Amino acid sequence: MGQLMECRTRTSQVISELRHVSDFSHIQNSVIAQMNDLAFKARNNGSLQKMVDKRAIANEELYEKLEKEAADVTSKMDFAKLAETHK
């Protein structure tokens, strides 16, 4: 659903930019640059999200191991004693 909303937002931005163009045979470079920016942002965001998802899946076992180790370490800590020592 988030991708649909993002697509809708970007489409609205492109349409808004095109409304400011009075003569489509002579589109200003700034308008072309803005539309290119919108297009590449959408493409790059999708690519970056795929890369992040791939890394997260690859590192899932490591995260689980680290969470278990952190839970083991914190279960052995005496927080009341630490609080008293470091007042």
In 3D, which of 31, 33, 42 has the Cα closest to residue 3? 42
Least confident of 41-45, 47-51, 64-68, 80-84: 41-45
Could you tell me the pLDDT band of residue 71, with boundaries at 50, 70 and 90?
very high
Say what the pTM is. Answer: 0.36
Write out pLDDT tens, residues 18-58.
Answer: 777 766 667 777 777 877 787 777 667 777 788 888 888 88
Phi-psi sector, 31: left (phi>0), alpha (psi -120 to 50), beta: alpha
Query: Which bin fits 12, alpha (ψ -120 to 50), beta or left (φ > 0)?
Result: alpha
Greater model confidence, 81 or 21: 81
